[in-house]
Each structure stands twice: as C-alpha cells, then as structure tokens.
Amino acid sequence: MDKHIENLFNVIEDNLYRDFNIENIANAGYVSSMQLYRDFYNLTGHTVKEYVRKRRLSCALSLVAHSDLSLVDIAYKCGYGSQQAFCKSVKSVTGQSPLEYKANDGYFYFPALNKGRNKHQVTVATETIPQMIKLKYYHTCLIGIENCAVDYLVSVTPEYKGRIFGCNGEQVGNRFCYELYIESDGDIPKTLINSDFKSCEIISEYKCVFAKTGCRNDEEEINTAWDYIYTVWLKASMFEQGSKPYFEEYIMKDGIIKKLILYLPVRKRKEHHKIRIKKCEEGVFLVCRKKGKNAEDNASQTVMGYLRSCYPYIIRNDMKFIVAVNGFEHICGVNIDKPLPLPVKSELEILKMDAGNYAILEGDCCGNNAVYENTLRSWAEDKSLKTESQGVCFAVYETNGSLQEEDVKVKIYLKLEKC
C-alpha cells in the first residue's frame, strides 16, 4: 500500500469524529489532493467523504447498541452536528430510527479498510463501449481458447487496428465458446461473414460504470485478478455487480496480446451486510474433507455423489450446504436431519455444529468466504466479543428452492464463548 494512502487511513481513524486536512496528508506524501482522492477511491471503492461517513456511523451505532449514552451525547461524541442529523443518517442507511435499531438484533458494521487490499489497482469509472460486432468462436479445448480466438481474428482481419473485447460464451455440446467484440461502423466485413466465426451481429453503443484492473496475458494471473476484483474488492466496496456483462479488453502490439484490462460492471450497493447474534441449536452435516487443488469441488462432489446413490430422498430443492476452511483443508457438506450410517474407510464423516451463541453475518452468494470471515472476526474484535479459541468460521449456503446465484444466500457463523 502506498505510504500516503496508509497515512490517510491512520489519520481518518485517529480523527474519525473531527475534521481533518487532506491537503496536509497529500503534501506529506508529495502528491496532489486530487491524486490522493483518486488513489483512495481506486483502492477502496469509496470516496474519502463516504468512507468517513460510514466509519463514523458504524462506531456511533455501536454506542447505540452497547451503551447507555443518550442519542444527543452519541451524536456530538461521534461528530454529528445535531441529534436530528444523526437520526437522519441512521434512518437513511438502516431504515430504522436509533431506538428501533437498539431494539433490533441486527447490527450495521463497516470495518476499517486498511489492511491487505492493494493486490491489484482497481479503477471505477463510467466507460462508453462503442458499437461492436459480436463474434462467437468455438473450440473443443477450453484452456487457451481466448488466445486462439484473438489469433484467428488477427489472421482473418490483419488490417483491423481497433479495440478488441472478449468474454466467455455458452458451451454447445463438447465445444466451448468465447465471444469477441470488435468496433464497427455499422457493416460486417465479408471476411468475418465467410469465416469460422459464428453468429456475427451488431451490438449498439452503451455506457456503464465499470471497475477495472489490468494484468499480464497469463492465465493464472488473469484468474487471480478476476478473483480479487470480484470476491475481495467488490465485497468490501460500496458497489455490487451490475446487470451488464463483464468482459476483457486485449491490448495488442504488432499482433501480439501484451496485457488485458478486466471490466466488471458495477452499481451502488443498495443494502449492507447484516450481522446478528443468535442462539443456535445443534446442527448435523454430512461432510467430506479435502486438500490441494480443487479441494472444495472434490469434497462437495464426493458428498453429493454418495447421497445420490445411497440416500437420494435427502437431496431436496431447499438445501443447506456447509463450507469451511481450516488451514489448507476444505470442509464441504450438506445439512441432514440426523446422523447416517457410513461405509467403513469412507471419506465421509458426520460433523456436528455445537449449540450455542453465534455471530452470524448474512450476505449474498460469494466465491470467497474469507472476505466475509474477515469482516465478521473484525466486528467481533471491535465489540470485544470472545470467540472460541479453536473455532473455525463456516458458511452455510441456503438455496431456498433455487440454485440461481441471485437466489442463494450465505450466512457466516462464528462461535462465541459468551455474549
């Protein structure tokens, strides 16, 4: 993390309830205040003002829930100009008055975002995507299909010098698909119509807000960059994924791909994650533990394969799946009503979730539970809540009759010693 951004985080936390001079921080870091604002926004997905407002509100609502201070005292203590201004801020974010919030069992929490976030530089901006020709390229091999598609485009249109975009398409049979988009003046060249590209069509120009990051043309680095921007940066920012498709832009030189720019469409987040403390009954899960590459997929397939062959009636539309990581070990399983007899020397086991008090964070479907786990542990630490020394955070995915990502909800559980 750049030194001037690190200084800004520290100054914000030290002066959270007071005004601070960002010009002084910019000067100390030998950058302009505009550059500092831009770097902060790219790193966090928040403007400085929005970040301070949410941090201030998070701390103030902690006092509402856990102290006997009056609302007027909390308002002035936390930097609000009046009790009315404080109440208005609480209402706009939580939909509740401070007293309703105090009586509720949910918590608004916005953590300090000052650690481990600068793996990739992310820029958020409104981009104009020009009128394009959409081309579908099919291949029997998935690995490297992007480079094959671009190489073929260059071979059939060597004179083309415009922008090239791409994204994964829908597989047909055993043939994988990669879609390319190139700039168009309204006509589709005959070289493309007579080529091996399928479904040549014109896509109209549009504008969209994108979160962007760059990476080398290396499959592992591309996957790492996508994983970071989607499962780390996005989940901690003020944005959620938008409705437009994601894509990659290929930066070419002399017909060779030099690097990629990743585009993820985003929009302002409507809701914040909810945290609550709840007393839970004992839960029973049929699980498998795996290590190494694709451990989570292999563990879940082992569980589901066993259930399909031996206990198909357990597999229902509305299921609860458990996912946890303990060191390098992945634990995946399915919630069941009671323990099942298991074969000797089976990879499967019965795991019981102890009854007790749990801190529970509710969120949407996420490919990286560590993002939520870090937030939940940070929240518990801020509240001085003791967690079990050997306790492992685990996620329970609830399908509610649908496996569509937008319908799947996740709850992260952290066992507390006492509340």
pLDDT at 348: 93
The neighbour count for residue 166, using CB atoms within 10 Å, is 22
pLDDT at 318: 66
Whether pTM > 0.85 for this model: the answer is no
pLDDT at 377: 81
How far apart, in whole angstroms, are the C-alpha atoms of residue 140 and residue 152?
A: 15
Asked, for residue 10, whether it belongs to a domain, the answer is yes
Asked, for residue 116, whether it belongs to a domain, the answer is no
Place of tokens 């958020």: 124
Q: Is the pLDDT of residue 123 over 70?
A: yes
pLDDT at 271: 62
11 & 95 share domain: yes
246 & 287 share domain: no
Pairing of strands 106-107, 283-291: unpaired
Boundary of a domain, candidates 214, 249, 268: 268
pLDDT digits over 186-210, tens only?
888 888 988 989 878 888 998 998 9
How far apart, in whole angstroms, are the C-alpha atoms of residue 174 and residue 180?
A: 20
285 & 335 share domain: yes
Asked, for residue 280, whether it belongs to a domain, the answer is yes
Confidence of residue 248 (pLDDT cuts 50, 70, 90): very high
Asked, for residue 71, whether it belongs to a domain, the answer is yes
Q: Is the pLDDT of residue 64 over 70?
A: yes
166 & 280 share domain: no
137 & 259 share domain: yes
Domain count of the chain?
3
CATH number at residue 237: 3.20.80.10
Asked, for residue 113, whether it belongs to a domain, the answer is no
172 & 207 share domain: yes
95 & 208 share domain: no
Boundary of a domain, candidates 246, 268, 290: 268
Asked, for residue 114, whether it belongs to a domain, the answer is no
pLDDT digits over 30-54, tens only?
678 888 888 888 777 778 888 888 8
pLDDT at 378: 76
pLDDT digits over 127-177, tens only?
888 999 999 999 998 888 999 999 999 999 988 989 999 999 888 888 899
148 & 175 share domain: yes
Confidence of residue 116 (pLDDT cuts 50, 70, 90): very low
Task: Decide which of 149 and 276 is more confident.
Answer: 149
* Burial of 201: CB neighbours in 10 Å, binned 0-12, 13-18, 19+: exposed
Asked, for residue 115, whether it belongs to a domain, the answer is no
CATH number at residue 12: 1.10.10.60
283 & 261 share domain: no
Boundary of a domain, candidates 50, 75, 107: 107
Asked, for residue 381, whether it belongs to a domain, the answer is yes
18 & 79 share domain: yes
Mean pLDDT, residues 291-313 taken together = 87
pLDDT digits over 209-238, tens only?
898 888 988 888 898 898 888 777 776 677
156 & 29 share domain: no
pLDDT at 177: 92
Q: Supply 293's token pair.
A: 């590459």
Mean pLDDT, residues 355-373 taken together = 73
pLDDT at 43: 73
101 & 144 share domain: no
Domain residues for the domain of 18 are 3-107
Mean pLDDT, residues 408-416 taken together = 84
